[in-house]
Amino acid sequence: MRTAGNPAPAPERGFSLVELAVVMAIVAFLLGGLMYTLSAQVEQRNFEDTRRRLEQARELLLSFALVKGRLPCPATSTSAGDEAPSTGGTCTVTNYAGWLPAKAIGYQQVDSGGYAVDTWGNRIRYAVSLTPWGTGPARFTKQHVSGDATAAWSLTQTPSDLVVCASASGVNSESCNTAASVTNQNVLVAIVFSTGKNGALTCTDCTDEAANNGADPVFVYHTPTPSTATGGEFDDQFTWITVGELYGRLIAAGVLP
């Protein structure tokens, strides 16, 4: 029996299943957005860290040239991350499909085999000009790669093999051909690059990346693209050394003229 002034308490009301579903959907949406943001931040950090590693490798290669009077030979799959041969001479890699010689240049981020790696653990690639320079006796393969002390440096000599194109469409095994060029073939003495997160060495639907995994001096570089783009997925990262920069460093260090 109720007495005046003591009304019966209102019945308790809980969440309905519909309301719980709405709340859970909102929470899932917020968590999904948070995870996407964190993932994007991680990817950007990995991209930037790999860029720093490539720039570090580039500086170490230039330092090696100042000390040794030549650029190092690429590493091979059996050289434990060192240049091959380790004492100079004619490079074991006679094409353009070698690895960065971490041991020779003092590069620190390496895998268990001693090979230089990017942020994703993929081995960093390295190509060096292998063509004769100019018409005189001094050759890139003699002086800069083999370390032949009898072959004099010459400011008139330029490389003529390595080239970077903007697309694999239209290139041949020797030049950009009908494809747009990023560099010309009288500029580059060395290229250092990462195969990116996907680490693709071979692929059937990424023609631009596939162009970087052959044994010819023609490479492709452009901004990253998804798998739906013309040329397929592309996330390779590049840096290179030009002949002008190499000579400039040698002159500044008193090695040249």
pLDDT digits (tens, 9 = 90+) for 226-245: 888 888 889 999 999 998 89
What pLDDT is recorded for position 247? 84
What pLDDT is recorded for position 67? 83
**Is a pLDDT exceeding 60 seen at residue 19?**
yes
Helices (H), the chain: 17-68, 102-105, 207-210, 243-252
Who wins on pLDDT, 143 or 100? 100
What pLDDT is recorded for position 148? 45
What pLDDT is recorded for position 138? 32
**Is a pLDDT exceeding 50 seen at residue 204?**
yes
What pLDDT is recorded for position 5? 60
| Pairing between β-strand 125-128 and β-strand 188-194 as defined by DSSP bridges | antiparallel
CA 43 from centre of chain: 15
The per-residue pLDDT for range 129-166, each reduced to its tens digit, is 887 544 332 333 334 443 444 455 566 677 888 999 99
Domain boundaries, the chain: 18-252
User: Are 134 and 189 in contact, with CB atoms under 8 Å apart?
Assistant: no
Q: Measured in Å, how far apart are the chain's first and last C-alpha atoms?
A: 112
**Is a pLDDT exceeding 60 seen at residue 206?**
yes
**Is a pLDDT exceeding 50 seen at residue 23?**
yes
* Cα–Cα distances in angstroms (integers) from residue 172 to residues 10, 35, 179, 193, 219, in the given order: 83, 43, 9, 20, 10
* φ and ψ of 126, to 5 deg: -150, 130
What pLDDT is recorded for position 155? 67
Who wins on pLDDT, 68 or 224? 224
Mean pLDDT score across all residues of the chain: 81
What pLDDT is recorded for position 139? 36
**Is a pLDDT exceeding 70 seen at residue 56?**
yes
Prediction pTM value: 0.78
Who wins on pLDDT, 34 or 23? 23
**Is a pLDDT exceeding 60 seen at residue 91?**
yes
What pLDDT is recorded for position 94? 83
